[in-house]
Every structure is written in structure tokens, then in C-alpha cells.
Amino acid sequence: MVKALKIGFEFIASYGFACVVFLLLLLLVFLGTIEQVDHGLYEVQKRYFESLFLVHWFEPFGGRLAIPLPLPGVYLLLILFTVNLIAGGIVRMRKNKNTVGNLIIHGGMLFMIAGGFVNFKFAQDGHMTLAESQRSDEFVSYYDWEIAIAQPENGVYQSEYLVPHERLAYLAPEDSAAFTRDDLPFELVVEGFQRNCQPMAMGPMMPHEGELVDGFTLHGMPLDKEAERNIAGAYATVREKKSGATQKAILWGFSAHPWTVTVDGKPYLIDLRHRRYALPFTIVLDKFTHELHPRTQMAKTFMSDVTKIENGVSQAIKITMNEPLRHKGYTFYQASWQPANPQLGTPVKSTLAVVKNPADQWPLYSCIVISAGLLIHFTAKLLKYLRAENKRLVARGATT
């Protein structure tokens, strides 16, 4: 048993194992890069870089032949790489003055991978798009969806219930899922969830694939390469708990208004929308500056003058490209503006990308550690080489 463990450890800590992992990572990164042309970054990221396994289809001869190639995903490879790095690059490695640099490099890499993992698992990202003088205390996901059920009383939202993205993300169009809470007088049944679709009005004689609600059906569309352009939709049924009576509607991510349904005499608003994250402070856009290089359409600078309001205290802040606002673990970046080519006089909205990443600065720290390690290790190597070359030249000189 001990021998088997030892062999296993030797295997996983070996240079050969490291090489295989590096080469597979290289292959995956290459394939994932090429695939982005046809499938866009979001899909490729999910399939190649955030997966344990995948099947890559080689399609030579203009797609007339399709050859499947099963491969480990980058996620799995990074786990294997981490194990190899710990086993071979730290535990097994001799600890002496010659390996100090290497140990530091490997330590820095571990820290960086840890940062990547924390980011992957715990980061929240989205955007906040504001016109001048608008304010917000939440930001919106680019890709994730949620269903919000709100109950207004006297025009004020008393409470909001959410069906989170995680419950919707894996629903296929043929799936049906029911959601409820004890304090809700109905259950919400979601069917035919599609990640990219559009409601279409159907005449009585027109053939249609899905259900028909008030003369409309959801028309599924292929996923867009730019994933943020996908608009989700689903059929929703409200089934009253008391009577079993049902009401049906289409929920669509781009609807101008939520679906209003009355149950037990109370109105409820049901909305399929991009996931929202609450902020512990408010941001007000005071001014958006968008400057082009003279006589071109090339952006020279764009920046947002904002006010951060927290506990009644206001603070004026400037957010510009490469100079984000960092506060309480949230970072606000000047991402873009809308519309892209505004006409004279059109109000322009500023889009701030918002990220909450507990490992925000870890790459910087690991970069410093890795750089130090590389410097120590390769300087030692260079000095050794120079000494050897000097000896060689001296020896040649002596020979002549």
C-alpha cells in the first residue's frame, strides 16, 4: 500500500506529469482560442475552460468529416497542475540555496491559481448603466437571469422573492420546474425556458412549435456569439394554492414591464430579468465625458464623475479607463457608453463594469512573488553560465 502510494506520489510529482499537463493545457488554450471565432467567448469559456471534460470535434475538409476528440477540460487540468505543483514543485523539491528561486516561483504560482479559483467560485460581476444624474445601489449581471416576484402595497414594494440563476441555468426547454414559498399564495411553474428567444405573435393558421399564450409563442433562437445579447424567456404559470386556478403568461427578459397577476385580491409583479446584485452604497452619475481624438471617431478618453453616497456621506470620485473605483471589495470600471455612436444632443449613458472579487489583488501579489523567484533563479543560472564560459575561454587561451 505504502509502495503504491509512493509510486502514485512519484507519478503525480514527476516532470513527465507536469509536461503532459502543460501540453494538454496548451492544446486546450489553442483550441479554445480558435473556437471563439465561431462560438464566441462565453460558450467557449464554459465548454473548454470551465469544464472537467469535453469532446472537441475536428472538422476537416470544410466540415465534411467530423472527428471527436475527448479531452480533459482546463478546470480539471488546473486541479491536476495544482496537485503536481504541490507534490513535485514544493514537497518533493530539494530545499537548498539552489532551489530557493524555484520554490518561490512555485509558491507564487500556487497563490495565483488560488486567486483564480476564488475568482471563479466567488466573484460577482455585472454592470451599472446610468444617465447623468441617475443613481443606483445595485448592479446587473451580463449573463445571469433571475425571476423576481414582487408584491406592491400602496405602490411600494414590500418584499421581493427571487428564483435565482442557479435554479434556471440548467433548465432545458422541455423541463418544468415549480417554485413557491409558504408566504406566497401561489406556486410559479416555469416551462420551456430558453436562453435566447423572442416572443412572436402567431396567427390562428400559422404553424408554431411551442405553446401559445395570448396569441404569442416563444421562438427559440441560436445562442449569440456575444453572450450578453442572448435574451432568455419562459412560459410561466401561476397556480393558486387555494383554488388550483391557473394563469399563464410569457416571461421574456426584454419585456418593458413585468407580468402583473392578481391572486387572492393582491397584485403580484413577476419579472424575468438579468440578475441584480445589491450594493451597500449608492452611486450617482454626475457627469459623463466622452472625448474623441480630433477629426476621428476614435475614443481619446471617457470618464464618469460619480458621487458615492454611503450612510449619508457623499464623496465625489472620477472613474476613467485604467483608473477604477475600489470600495468595500467592489470595483467599478469605466467600461463603455451607450449608444455607441450618439447623435448630437442624444443623452449618453455611461456603463460601469462592476466586479466583486475577493481575490482582486491576488494576481498582483503573486506576480511580485513569481518575478522575484524568476529573478533569483535565472540570475543564479546566468552567473553559473558566465563562470563556466569564462573558464572555457581561459582554458582555450591557455591552450593557444
Partner 1 sequence: MKPAIGRGKWAALAAAVVVCGAAYGQASKPIAMAPVWEKEVLELASSLPIQDGGRVKPLSTYAAFTLLKMNGARTLKVPDPRNLGADGQPKERRLTPIEWLLDCLFYPDAAERYRCFVVETYEVVDSIGVSHEGKKKRDRYSYAELRPGIDKLYQLARQYNTEAEGDTQKLSPVQGQIVNLATNVFEFQRILHYLDFARHTYPIAEGSAAAQLIPENRYSGILEKLSTIGVVAIVLDRGMETIEAGLGAERAQELRSMIPAGFGALSAEDRRKALSELNAIVQDASLMSGRATGLALFPPTKELGDQKEWIAAGELFEPLMGSSTHAHEQIQLIAELETLTALRDQPEAFKSQLAKFHDSVVGIATERGEYSKVPIEVSFYKWKFFFWAQWLFVLVFVLVAISWIAPAARSIDAAALWGLFVPTALLIIGITYRCIIRGRPPVSTLYETILFIAAVAVVCAIAIEFMNRQRIALSVGSVLGAMGMFLANRFEEQQGVDTMPELIAVLDTNFWLSTHVTTVTMGYSAGLLAAAIAHIYIIGRLIGFRKEDKAFYKNLSRMTYGVICFGLVFSTVGTVLGGIWANDSWGRFWGWDPKENGALMIVLWELAMLHARMGGYIRDLGFAVASTFGAIIVAFSWWGVNLLGVGLHSYGFTSGIMPILLGFYTLELAVCACGVLVWILERYRKPAPAVATAPPEIASVRKKRLPAKAAE
Write out the three cell numbers for 355: 466586479
**Closest CB to partner 1 among residues 29, 212:** 29
Residue 197 C-beta: closest distance to partner 1, Å:
23
What are the backbone dihedrals phi and psi of residue 99, each rounded to the nearest 5 degrees, phi first? -110, 5
Residue 156 C-beta: closest distance to partner 1, Å:
34
**Closest CB to partner 1 among residues 119, 255:** 119
Residue 113 C-beta: closest distance to partner 1, Å:
11
β-strands 313-320, 259-263 pairing: unpaired
Residue 282 C-beta: closest distance to partner 1, Å:
20
Residue 172 C-beta: closest distance to partner 1, Å:
26
**Closest CB to partner 1 among residues 157, 378:** 378
Strand ordering across the sheet containing 233-240: 176-179, 186-194, 233-240, 246-252
**Closest CB to partner 1 among residues 171, 306:** 306
Binding residues (CB under 8 A) for partner 1: these are 14-16, 18-19, 22-23, 25-26, 29-30, 32-34, 36-37, 40-41, 44-45, 49, 112, 115-116, 119, 125, 292-296, 298-302, 321-324, 331, 333, 335, 353-355, 360, 363-364, 366-367, 370-371, 374-375, 378, 381-382, 385-386, 389, 392-400
**Closest CB to partner 1 among residues 96, 322:** 322
172-206 burial, b at 16+ Cβ within 10 Å, e below that, comes to ebeeeeebeeeebbbebbbbbbbbbbebeeeeeee
Residue 367 C-beta: closest distance to partner 1, Å:
4
Q: List Cα–Cα distances, 139 to 25, 275, 370, in angstroms.
A: 34, 8, 34
Residue 116 C-beta: closest distance to partner 1, Å:
7
**Closest CB to partner 1 among residues 265, 294:** 294
Q: Quote the distance between the C-alpha of residue 86 and its chain's center.
A: 27
Q: Is 21 helix (H, G, I), strand (E, B) or coil?
A: helix
Q: Is 298 exposed, middle or buried (0-12, 13-18, 19+ CB in 10 A)?
A: exposed
268-278 burial, b at 16+ Cβ within 10 Å, e below that, comes to bbbbbbbbbbe
- The span from the CA of 135 to the CA of 288, in Å, is 13
What are the backbone dihedrals phi and psi of residue 350, each rounded to the nearest 5 degrees, phi first? -100, 135
**Closest CB to partner 1 among residues 123, 200:** 123
Residue 70 C-beta: closest distance to partner 1, Å:
21
Nearest to 86 by CA among 112, 110, 115, 113: 110
Contacts of 245 (CB under 8 A, 6+ apart): 239
Residue 38 C-beta: closest distance to partner 1, Å:
9
**Closest CB to partner 1 among residues 91, 394:** 394
**Closest CB to partner 1 among residues 119, 282:** 119
**Closest CB to partner 1 among residues 115, 210:** 115
- The span from the CA of 104 to the CA of 97, in Å, is 12
Are the CB atoms for 353 and 228 separated by under 8 Å? Answer: no
Residue 354 C-beta: closest distance to partner 1, Å:
8
Q: Is 170 exposed, middle or buried (0-12, 13-18, 19+ CB in 10 A)?
A: exposed
Q: Is 94 helix (H, G, I), strand (E, B) or coil?
A: coil
Are the CB atoms for 113 and 369 separated by under 8 Å? Answer: no
